Amino acid sequence: MQKIVVILYGPPGSGKGTQANLLEKKFDLIHFDTGKFLESVVHDSARQNEALVKRERKLFDGGILMTPSFVLREVAREARRISGAGWGLVFSGSPRTVYEAERLMPELEHLYGKKNIFIFGLQLIPNHSIKRNSARLMCTVCGYGLLTAYYPKTKAKHCPVCGGSFYSRILDKPEVIRVRLKQYKERTEPIFDTVKKRGYRVIKIDAEPAPYKVLAKIIAAIKIRK
């Protein structure tokens, strides 16, 4: 079966990572979690002496979008590696800027074919972004994100997947989320016009319902196109 690429956009807390994990299993893809990937890059102990990594880490930990040229280089390199291994991709929030989109989309089209690329915009109002993310807990071992709307964090002590302990990310502090929302509005949303000019349709999906309901709408849209 032809491998596909799914690109999920949306503000913080809209469920990009959750949907990407679900789609990964549904369509046999590799979830390219850009945030986690970049976090691993800038926090890589072996790269802390690199001046660029030091600079980008300060941006990342402050909730500010990293330098596009740095992100593009790291992401494109990893995408080529995954494609070369014969896997499809699902991106959660990448490419993140017009600069990245203009340069990464041609690369993805070359690797997978334009007709096999699907772009979605998950929609969530700002207050709900802050509410969701400020309550989010992540597992220190497997990276699982607890859906605290269904499992209140006051009762959550151990990860239901691996039994590890939970932590709250720096990125999920309310003051950082507000910065990220502003960055998304100013630097990511303009990508929609960029990809439309390349002939893509950005499929808008309401991210307010439970994840399984959002997933059903995404799957239906992909099957119609295929």
Tens digits of residue pLDDT in 185-225 = 998 899 999 999 999 999 999 999 999 999 999 999 998 76
In single-letter form, the type of residue at position 123 comes to Q
Residue 123 in this model has a pLDDT that exceeds 90: yes
Mean of the per-residue pLDDT values for the chain? 90
By the 8 A CB rule, do 225 and 114 touch?
A: no
**Who contacts 205 (Cβ-Cβ below 8 Å, separation ≥6)?**
120, 121, 122, 123, 214, 217, 218, 221
Residue 14's alpha-carbon distances to 8, 21, 64, 133, 141, in angstroms, are: 10, 14, 18, 9, 23
pTM: 0.83
By the 8 A CB rule, do 56 and 70 touch?
A: yes
